[in-house]
Amino acid sequence: MTARWVLACLLAINIVLSPWAVEAGLGVNWGTVTTHRLPHDTIKQLLQDNGIKKVKIFDADPASMKALAGTGIEVMIAVPNDMLSAMNDHGVATKWVKENVTRYHSAGEVNIKYVGVGNEPFLKSYGSDFLNITFPALKNIQNALNEAGVGNTIKATIPFNADVYESPIYNPVPSAGKFRDDIADLMEQIVKFLSSNGAPIAVNIYPFLSLYQSASFPIDYAFFDGTNSPLLDNGIEYTNLFDANFDTLVSALDKVGFGHLPIMIGEIGWPTDGNANANVTLAERFYSGFLKRLAAKQGTPLRPNTDIDVYLFGLLDEDAKSVAPGDFERHWGIFTYDGQPKFPADLSGGGQMKALVGAKDVKYLTPKWCVLKPDADANGENVSTNVNFACAHADCTALGFGRSCGGLDPRGSISYAFNAYYQMKNQNDESCDFGGLATVSTQNISRGSCFFKLQIVPAPSSASNSFPWSHLLTLFLVIGIWMF
């Protein structure tokens, strides 16, 4: 046997026996960039009612940790991009791990499995901002986890955007996959480090964005029910973008000698508003196709029969997200801002689309809305200034061609903007004035697909709700001393 063969066999054995193979099952990203948050108990119930087994968050916010505590749900927490630089200091990383991992983990409260280091730090639009500081941060966090004695079960990884390898110029077909030229060496070092620590590589894959970015993209290729324009690659027929994108990464990993590194999908989903291709019908088509494939453990052509580890994006709509990438950014939720399902799905991983369970006992503000006065002139001189003001602060992304409120007449659109602002401001009287153009109405003017928001009662500040950790710790110490 050649040395190459021995290595191949060892790798194969490693895949079968490896304790660090990514545990599959469905996860959901829970982002909190919202003007109003549901109470953590409501979220906890929502997660449990829908059989969600894994949750990924974008920081280590104590309020989020509280919702996840005691649920047994596997959690991926994260170091945000703006903390990467600080994590280049080993002492700071050690403190982060102590405060945000070990204290929850040791008490057995939150089932932390992963730490995401940064979020899409090598995204092309970030330029070189995070290029030099991400890998040192990853090393420091994993080393701090190892030193804290939890490195065997908690792994650090970097959630990448697929643009670290996805490029039609470099990679016309999946088998040509390789990492982007400007970061190729860095990616190779990172992949090597992940592998030596038994961590997976995480990547975010968005067929919706491919469709959004290219008018010539064949729409059926974004879904999972066949296409007239499959991609042919060495005799393999790719009928959907997900498979092609995933296998491009497999090829890129293979080229640097880590073709078997476990791959985790950090984010994948379909938005429901803010763009002509973002609606509930298409989102349901995407999720039903994708979730059935996952449940069937179909894998991809280069990794067939694989249980892929996936975190859907996302749990709830986030009305305060930046719309720089596009207005659809605020509509990625499987559930609406108030925790109500938009379409049937199966978040427990079974693949049988069924009605989801909405958030229970949601508390709303008084049923009243801010509208343009019936006698106000919709073409008056200050109307556009006021609408622009409202929409610069509140969420008006449902307005526009092909969107849920795209069918409103001009008066309706103005009212929509005024109400969005009024609700965001918790129906504060002064927020429904707009130079005398607006008035409060108790008549529900939602119509057709266009929903005039009634905001939820804001959850009390998390500061007063923090865990009595120090007491728990004292208790454990006392028990420990008593036992020995």
Ligand X SMILES: *[C@@H]1O[C@H](CO)[C@@H](O)[C@H](O)[C@H]1NC(C)=O
Nearer to ligand X, 155 or 260 (CB): 155
Told to check if 381 binds ligand X by CB under 6 A, we report yes
Nearer to ligand X, 175 or 277 (CB): 277
- To ligand X, the closest distance from the beta carbon of 131 in angstroms equals 6
One-character DSSP codes across 92-128: HHHHHHIIIIIHHHHTT-SEEEEEEESSSTT-GGGTT
Of the candidate residues 22, 46, 60, 138, the single one contacting ligand X (CB under 6 A)? 60
Told to check if 380 binds ligand X by CB under 6 A, we report yes
Longest dimension (CA), the chain: 89
Of the candidate residues 304, 367, 374, 480, the single one contacting ligand X (CB under 6 A)? 367
Told to check if 466 binds ligand X by CB under 6 A, we report no
Kindly report the backbone phi and psi dihedral angles of residue 226, in degrees, each rounded to the nearest multiple of 5, phi listed first.
95, 155
Distance (Å, whole) CA 241 – CA 230: 9
Told to check if 67 binds ligand X by CB under 6 A, we report no
Nearer to ligand X, 290 or 343 (CB): 343
Distance (Å, whole) CA 341 – CA 200: 31
- To ligand X, the closest distance from the beta carbon of 384 in angstroms equals 11
Among 82, 44, 87, which Cα is nearest to 63's? 44
Which range in 2-10, 225-233, 274-282, 334-342 contacts ligand X by CB under 6 A? 274-282
Told to check if 382 binds ligand X by CB under 6 A, we report yes
Amino acid at 134: T
The footprint of ligand X on residues 30-59 (CB under 6 A) is 59
- To ligand X, the closest distance from the beta carbon of 20 in angstroms equals 25
Strands 299-300 and 303-304: antiparallel
Told to check if 254 binds ligand X by CB under 6 A, we report no
- To ligand X, the closest distance from the beta carbon of 466 in angstroms equals 12
Told to check if 61 binds ligand X by CB under 6 A, we report yes
Which range in 149-157, 171-179, 279-287, 320-328 contacts ligand X by CB under 6 A? 279-287
Told to check if 366 binds ligand X by CB under 6 A, we report no
Told to check if 304 binds ligand X by CB under 6 A, we report no
Told to check if 277 binds ligand X by CB under 6 A, we report yes
Per-residue tokens: 120: 């899409």
Amino acid at 81: N
The footprint of ligand X on residues 128-147 (CB under 6 A) is 128, 132
Residue that the structure tokens 């005024």 belong to: 418
Told to check if 85 binds ligand X by CB under 6 A, we report no
Told to check if 96 binds ligand X by CB under 6 A, we report yes
Amino acid at 149: G
Told to check if 435 binds ligand X by CB under 6 A, we report yes
- The site for ligand X, by CB under 6 A, has a size of 22
H or E element at residue 196: helix 184-196
Told to check if 276 binds ligand X by CB under 6 A, we report yes
Cβ atoms of 414 and 372 closer than 8 Å:
yes
Residue that the structure tokens 């490029």 belong to: 167
Nearer to ligand X, 72 or 435 (CB): 435
- To ligand X, the closest distance from the beta carbon of 108 in angstroms equals 19
Residues 6+ apart with CB under 8 A from 17: none
Catalytic residue positions, numbered? 120, 267
Task: Name the residue number minimizing CB distance to ligand X.
Answer: 59
Residue that the structure tokens 């266009």 belong to: 450
What CA dihedral angle connects 56, 57, 61 and 62, to 10 degrees? -30
Told to check if 462 binds ligand X by CB under 6 A, we report no
Told to check if 454 binds ligand X by CB under 6 A, we report yes
Residues 6+ apart with CB under 8 A from 143: 90, 93
Told to check if 446 binds ligand X by CB under 6 A, we report yes
Per-residue tokens: 341: 């399902």
Strands 369-372 and 438-441: antiparallel
Beta bridge partners of 173: none
Nearer to ligand X, 234 or 281 (CB): 281
Distance (Å, whole) CA 183 – CA 179: 7
Exposed e or buried b per residue across 445-484, where buried means at least 16 C-beta atoms within 10 angstroms of its C-beta: eeeeebebbbbbeebeebeeeebeeeeeeeeeeeeeeeee
Told to check if 444 binds ligand X by CB under 6 A, we report yes
Of the candidate residues 95, 255, 368, 373, the single one contacting ligand X (CB under 6 A)? 95
Nearer to ligand X, 193 or 451 (CB): 451
Chain contacts with ligand X (rule: CB under 6 A): 59-61, 95-96, 99-100, 128, 132, 276-277, 279, 281-282, 367, 380-382, 435, 444, 446, 454
